[in-house]
C-alpha cells in the first residue's frame, strides 16, 4: 500500500500542496481520532503545486474514520480547513490498487483492481419514508473493497451492516443491510432521509456510486 499524508491547517485556510502522483482512485481516511463533527475539511486536487486545474474531490464534512473517495487518479492534493476547533488533524491518501502502487510482490501477490465507469449519473427516486428505494438502478458489478455513494456531488457513507446511516445497500428489498465490502452486483440502494438530512427528489437529485472492480469483469 502506498500512502501520503496531508496536513490540515489549524485555522481556516488551505494547506500545502502534496505530490500524490499515482495514488487514487481510492478512499481517503482522516488519521486523527480527535476530530469532531464541527471540524469540516475539504480535499482539493490539482495538476501541479501552483493549483492549476484544481478540482474539489471531497466536500465537507470529512471526519475521523469516514472514508472519502477521490474518483480519479490524482497528482497534487491539499487539505482545506473550512471550520472547526481541533488542531493537528491530518488526512492520509492511500491506494490498495496493486496496479497503481506496485504492491503484490512475489508469490503472485494480490489481484489489481480498477475503477468502474458504471453507476454514474443515475436518476434518484422521490423518497418519503426512511429506507425507501433511492434509485431503480442496481449495482452493476460486484465491487472490490469499499463503495461510496455521492448525491449531487456530496459523499454519504453507506451503512456497514446497519440501516442507521444516510443510506445502505441491500439484496433483499431493504430488509438486510450489507456489510462494508460485501455489496454484490444486483443490490439496491436505500435512503434514510432522517439521517441524511433530506429526502431525495426525482428529476432533481443525481446519484453516483464510486467503487473498484476486478479487471475484465466489466467497465
Question: What burial class does residue 156 get, using C-beta atoms within 10 Å of its C-beta: 0-12 exposed, 13-18 middle, 19+ buried?
Answer: buried
Mean pLDDT for back-to-back runs of 10 residues, the chain (219 residues):
75 82 58 69 70 53 51 66 82 54 32 75 96 97 84 84 94 94 94 95 92 74
| Structural contact between residues 189 and 160, judged by C-beta atoms closer than 8 angstroms | no
Q: How far is CA 107 from CA 110, 111, 112, 168, in A?
A: 9, 12, 14, 37
The pLDDT, as a whole number, for residue 149 is 87
pLDDT, position 128: 97
The Cα 177–Cα 184 span in angstroms is: 12
Could you identify the residue written with the cell 462494508?
A: 180
In this predicted structure, what is the pLDDT of residue 3? 66
pLDDT in tens, 31-66: 565 777 777 777 777 766 665 655 555 444 454 445
pLDDT at 127: 98
**What SS3 string covers 31-69?**
CCCCCCCCCEEEEEEECCCCCCCCEEEECCCCCECCCEE
Q: What is the pLDDT of residues 137-164, one digit of tens each?
A: 999 999 887 788 888 877 788 998 999 9
Ordered by where they begin, the domains of the chain are: 2-98 (2.60.120), 114-213 (no CATH)
pLDDT of residue 69: 53
Amino acid at each position: 500500500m502506498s500512502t501520503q499524508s496531508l496536513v490540515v491547517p489549524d485555522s481556516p485556510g488551505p494547506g500545502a500542496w502534496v505530490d500524490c502522483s499515482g495514488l487514487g482512485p481510492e478512499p481517503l481516511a482522516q488519521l486523527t481520532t480527535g476530530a469532531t463533527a464541527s471540524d469540516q475539511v475539504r480535499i482539493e486536487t490539482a495538476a501541479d503545486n501552483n493549483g492549476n486545474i484544481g478540482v474539489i474531490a471531497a466536500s465537507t464534512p470529512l471526519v475521523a474514520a469516514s472514508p472519502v473517495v477521490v474518483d480519479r487518479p490524482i497528482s497534487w492534493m491539499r487539505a482545506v480547513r473550512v471550520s472547526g476547533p481541533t488542531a493537528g488533524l491530518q488526512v492520509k491518501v492511500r491506494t490498495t490498487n496493486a496496479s497503481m502502487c506496485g504492491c503484490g510482490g512475489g508469490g503472485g501477490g494480490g489481484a489489481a483492481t480498477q475503477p468502474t465507469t458504471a453507476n454514474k449519473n443515475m436518476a434518484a427516486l422521490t423518497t418519503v419514508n426512511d429506507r425507501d428505494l433511492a434509485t431503480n438502478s442496481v449495482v452493476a458489478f460486484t465491487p472490490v473493497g469499499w463503495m461510496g455513494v455521492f448525491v449531487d456531488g456530496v459523499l454519504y457513507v453507506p451503512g456497514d451492516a446497519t440501516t442507521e446511516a444516510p443510506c445502505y445497500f441491500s439484496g433483499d428489498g431493504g430488509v438486510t443491510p450489507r456489510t462494508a465490502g460485501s455489496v454484490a452486483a444486483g443490490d439496491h440502494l436505500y435512503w434514510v432521509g432522517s439521517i441524511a438530512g433530506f429526502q431525495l427528489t426525482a428529476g432533481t437529485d443525481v446519484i453516483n456510486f464510486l467503487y473498484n472492480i476486478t479487471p475484465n469483469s466489466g467497465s
